[in-house]
């Protein structure tokens, strides 16, 4: 099954239908856009509060320093990351201005967008978005969108810079974020390392339309607190249980750790750090000296003497950090290097940074399903459009059709009114007719009347035509729903498997194995190998379903299981 092709086919059908109805102009372009969207890569938006660490996370994800990272409100524009090569290495960024113009710009231009001054804000408010082209495999199926922090939650200290431009810019960002929210297929929400009540607002706000399964959370800046990865994971788990209606999972990530380890891996920097650090032969002294930055850079004689004892002078200490700006990050790396070999240390830090987990979840939840996600959202839009036609436009049409005969009667009875009406509500065609005839005004009454009658007849459907349109609409809706059903079913199986994996204690091991086999997780094994009576199992799960009320996860898994079993039974019947 090729979801893109099927979606496009159905859109073509809808288009063929629309072109025969009076709403041709209103909807045709939108259908074209949707049809194009079906084959474009799926959009993954990265959202979060101002300064939650969105850009750092993005850099860690792409492994390149693209989005600018700074301490002020950095991302003043929306950034798109797409697959491709920039035309000119000197001008790597495509700037799309608000008026639709596009131009390639250099790095210097980006630097001029840094900061919070009036000029910068003025400039940024004229930009619609920036496009970066990167050759990363992840971008082949997914376009990443880096959003500016939502304005719903402006920090108090940001209020200081409040003036006209920043206000309008923020307003614009807010609008853009809302627009993004409507079209993004999946969302990564970046929450700070300290869960805050305001976060849940943002999450609820950004994910109310998308399915929870299509939204994941990232807890950034976890290097700021000295906790082990297990402690972070527990914190994330309790937080994600709170947010489970909106987010499928929250993962801890240290973006700066990833960038640090990437930059250190080149050259022999790691070996150098290890060499220096291991000069401190006493482990207790190492903990004392390196534990925090005040001690490390201390000018107190006690510490200075201790450092000198192990032969580490001040210049060495400064060069030791190798350009890492965050001390906690450096400390963690140094500590790993102190106790472990270089390879082990790198592996440990990569685990701690959490990026591997992120990749795993990203692959499973988004990248493998990206086509389905995109097609489902396109189909949803088409369905909503047809619904709108059915509920609103068709109603208007029918109302007019009721009036059709009344109009014609009026025209027949009062030719003069018809003319006045035609002139007052000058529809384009009648106006042209009037000017083209060239007949002096007093003599055209009959012509106008005839023209008006034909105009009314052409533009108003009769009652029968309305009925035909309605039945066509309904059959199209059914077709779309069938396709949606197919997509969601493949999706639901994947979703159930994900839930099983993340919530291990939901069912017993035997039950988990049964469900996983049924949903096709183990390649080459089918449910018939387990020697279960399908009927018995259906009844077992149906009974169990009643006892899991209020537990959305469990219900979802059980529903999917029962559905799959029912399908098996149905196929068996048909086979016999």
Tell me how far CA of residue 362 lies from CA of 134, 216, 355, 401, 544, in angstroms.
Answer: 18, 9, 10, 53, 32
CB of 439 to other proteins, least distance (A): 38
Q: Using CB under 8 A, which of 281, 299, 325, 505 touches other proteins? A: 505
Q: Pattern of binders to other proteins over 459-488, x per CB under 8 A? A: ---------------x--xx--xx--x---
Tokens in use for 576?
A: 């016999």
CB of 545 to other proteins, least distance (A): 8
- DSSP annotation of 51 reads T
Number of residues lying near other proteins (CB under 8 A): 41
Based on the shown chain and the rule CB under 8 A, indicate whether residue 566 belongs to the binding site for other proteins. yes
Q: Using CB under 8 A, which of 196, 420, 530, 569 touches other proteins? A: 569
Based on the shown chain and the rule CB under 8 A, indicate whether residue 398 belongs to the binding site for other proteins. yes
Q: What is the DSSP string of 387-453?
A: HHIIIIIHHHHHHHHHHHHHHHHHHHH-HHHHHHHHHHT--HHHHHHHHHH---GGG-HHHHHHHHH
Q: Using the minimum distance from each CB to other proteins, give the nearer residue, 421 or 563.
A: 563
Name every residue whose Cβ is closer than 8 Å to that of residue 91 and which is 6 or more positions away in sequence: 104, 105, 106
Handedness of CA 273, 274, 276, 282 (dihedral sign): positive
Q: Using CB under 8 A, which of 155, 387, 501, 529 touches other proteins? A: 387
CB of 33 to other proteins, least distance (A): 20
CB of 481 to other proteins, least distance (A): 5
CB of 246 to other proteins, least distance (A): 13
CB of 561 to other proteins, least distance (A): 12
Q: Using the minimum distance from each CB to other proteins, give the nearer residue, 323 or 535.
A: 535
Tokens in use for 390?
A: 């059915």
Q: Using CB under 8 A, which of 271, 294, 399, 446 touches other proteins? A: 399
Q: How far apart are CA 545 and CA 473, in angstroms?
A: 37
Minimal CA–CA distance to 134: which of 122, 124, 142? 142
Torsion of CA 124, 208, 380, 486, to 10 degrees: 130
Q: Using CB under 8 A, which of 68, 506, 512, 532 touches other proteins? A: 506
Q: Using the minimum distance from each CB to other proteins, give the nearer residue, 380 or 412.
A: 380
Minimal CA–CA distance to 57: which of 213, 212, 216, 178? 216
* Residue-level length of the chain: 576
- 3-state class of 221 per DSSP? coil
Q: Using CB under 8 A, which of 36, 163, 388, 409 touches other proteins? A: 388
Q: Using the minimum distance from each CB to other proteins, give the nearer residue, 510 or 546.
A: 546
Based on the shown chain and the rule CB under 8 A, indicate whether residue 544 belongs to the binding site for other proteins. yes
Can you list the alpha helix ranges (DSSP code H) found in 19-152?
24-39, 54-62, 107-111, 118-124, 138-141
Q: Using the minimum distance from each CB to other proteins, give the nearer residue, 43 or 511.
A: 511
Q: Using CB under 8 A, which of 351, 402, 431, 530 touches other proteins? A: 402
Based on the shown chain and the rule CB under 8 A, indicate whether residue 338 belongs to the binding site for other proteins. no
CB of 524 to other proteins, least distance (A): 26
Based on the shown chain and the rule CB under 8 A, indicate whether residue 570 belongs to the binding site for other proteins. yes
Based on the shown chain and the rule CB under 8 A, indicate whether residue 546 belongs to the binding site for other proteins. yes
Q: Are 377 and 185 in contact (CB under 8 A)?
A: yes
CB of 377 to other proteins, least distance (A): 17
CB of 504 to other proteins, least distance (A): 12
Q: Using the minimum distance from each CB to other proteins, give the nearer residue, 309 or 380.
A: 380
Based on the shown chain and the rule CB under 8 A, indicate whether residue 542 belongs to the binding site for other proteins. yes
Stretch in the footprint of other proteins (CB under 8 A) among 26-34, 183-191, 452-460, 540-548: 540-548
Q: Are 324 and 330 in contact (CB under 8 A)?
A: yes
Torsion of CA 449, 453, 454, 455, to 10 degrees: 100
Q: Using CB under 8 A, which of 80, 109, 303, 540 touches other proteins? A: 540
CB of 562 to other proteins, least distance (A): 8
Q: How far apart are CA 257 and CA 355, in angstroms?
A: 10
CB of 9 to other proteins, least distance (A): 19
Q: Using the minimum distance from each CB to other proteins, give the nearer residue, 288 or 545.
A: 545
Minimal CA–CA distance to 181: which of 169, 189, 190, 193? 189
Q: Are 146 and 67 in contact (CB under 8 A)?
A: yes
Handedness of CA 467, 469, 473, 479 (dihedral sign): positive
Based on the shown chain and the rule CB under 8 A, indicate whether residue 287 belongs to the binding site for other proteins. no
Q: Using the minimum distance from each CB to other proteins, give the nearer residue, 90 or 388.
A: 388
Q: Using the minimum distance from each CB to other proteins, give the nearer residue, 302 or 539.
A: 539
Stretch in the footprint of other proteins (CB under 8 A) among 109-117, 219-227, 232-240, 542-550: 542-550
Q: Are 349 and 333 in contact (CB under 8 A)?
A: yes
Angle between helices 255-265 and 327-339 (to 10 degrees): 60
Angle between helices 463-502 and 552-575 (to 10 degrees): 110
Q: How far apart are CA 348 and CA 270, in angstroms?
A: 14
Based on the shown chain and the rule CB under 8 A, indicate whether residue 533 belongs to the binding site for other proteins. no
Give pairs for 230-239: CB < 8 Å, separation 24+.
Answer: 232/354, 235/195, 239/191, 239/195
Based on the shown chain and the rule CB under 8 A, indicate whether residue 17 belongs to the binding site for other proteins. no
- DSSP annotation of 53 reads S
Q: Using the minimum distance from each CB to other proteins, give the nearer residue, 316 or 569.
A: 569
Q: How far apart are CA 476 and CA 94, in angstroms?
A: 40
Q: Using CB under 8 A, which of 68, 322, 512, 538 touches other proteins? A: 538
Note the residues at the interface with other proteins (CB under 8 A): 384, 387-388, 391-392, 395, 398-399, 402, 474, 477-478, 481-482, 485, 505-506, 534-535, 538-540, 542-544, 546-552, 554, 559, 563, 565-567, 569-570, 573
């Amino acid at each position: 099954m090729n979801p893109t092709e099927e979606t496009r086919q159905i859109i073509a059908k809808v288009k063929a239908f629309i072109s025969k109805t009076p709403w041709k102009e209103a909807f045709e372009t939108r259908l074209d856009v949707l049809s194009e969207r079906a084959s474009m890569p799926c959009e993954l938006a990265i959202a979060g509060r101002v300064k939650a660490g969105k850009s750092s996370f993005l850099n860690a994800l792409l492994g390149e320093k693209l989005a600018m990272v700074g301490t002020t409100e950095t991302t003043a524009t929306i950034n798109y990351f797409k697959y491709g090569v920039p035309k000119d290495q000197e001008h790597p960024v495509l700037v799309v201005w608000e008026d639709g113009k596009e131009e390639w710009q250099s790095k210097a231009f980006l630097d001029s967008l840094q900061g919070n001054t009036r000029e910068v804000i003025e400039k940024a408010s004229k930009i619609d978005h920036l496009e970066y082209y990167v050759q990363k495999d992840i971008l082949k199926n997914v376009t990443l969108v880096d959003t500016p922090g939502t304005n719903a939650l402006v920090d108090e200290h940001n209020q200081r810079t409040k003036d006209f431009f920043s206000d309008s810019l923020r307003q614009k960002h807010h609008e853009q974020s809302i627009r993004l929210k409507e079209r993004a297929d999946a969302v990564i929400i970046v929450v700070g390392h300290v869960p805050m009540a305001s976060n849940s607002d943002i999450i609820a706000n950004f994910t109310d339309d998308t399915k929870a399964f299509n939204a994941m959370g990232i807890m950034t800046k976890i290097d700021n607190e000295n906790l082990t990865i297990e402690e972070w994971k527990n914190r994330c788990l309790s937080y994600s249980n709170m947010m489970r209606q909106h987010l499928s999972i929250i993962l801890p990530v240290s973006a700066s750790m990833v960038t640090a380890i990437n930059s250190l891996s080149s050259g022999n920097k790691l070996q150098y750090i290890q060499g220096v650090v291991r000069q401190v032969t006493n482990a207790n002294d190492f903990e004392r000296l390196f534990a925090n930055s005040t001690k490390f850079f201390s000018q107190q004689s006690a510490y200075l003497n201790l450092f000198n004892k192990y032969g580490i002078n001040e210049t060495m200490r400064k060069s030791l950090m190798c350009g890492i700006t965050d001390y906690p990050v450096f400390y963690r790396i140094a500590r790993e290097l102190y106790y472990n070999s270089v390879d082990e240390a790198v592996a440990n830090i990569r685990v701690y940074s959490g990026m591997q987990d992120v990749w795993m979840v990203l692959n499973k939840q988004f990248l493998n399903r990206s086509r389905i996600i995109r097609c489902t959202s396109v189909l949803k839009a088409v369905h909503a459009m047809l619904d709108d036609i059915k509920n609103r436009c068709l109603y208007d049409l029918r109302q007019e059709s009721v009036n059709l005969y009344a109009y014609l009667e009026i025209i027949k009875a009062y030719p003069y009114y018809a003319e006045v009406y035609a002139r007052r509500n000058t529809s384009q065609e009648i106006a042209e007719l009037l000017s083209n005839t060239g007949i002096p005004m007093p003599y055209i009454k009959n012509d106008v009347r005839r023209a008006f009658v034909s105009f009314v007849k052409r533009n108003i459907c009769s009652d029968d035509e309305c009925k035909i349109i309605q039945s066509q609409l309904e059959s199209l809706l059914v077709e779309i729903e069938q396709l949606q059903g197919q997509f969601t079913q493949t999706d639901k199986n994947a979703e159930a498997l994900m839930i099983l994996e993340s919530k291990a204690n939901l069912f017993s091991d035997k039950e988990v194995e049964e469900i996983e086999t049924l949903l096709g997780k183990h390649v080459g094994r089918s449910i018939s190998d387990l020697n279960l009576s399908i009927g018995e199992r259906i009844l077992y799960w149906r009974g169990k379903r009643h006892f899991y009320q209020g537990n959305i996860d469990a219900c979802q898994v059980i529903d999917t299981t029962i559905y799959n079993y029912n399908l098996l039974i149905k196929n068996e019947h048909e086979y016999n």
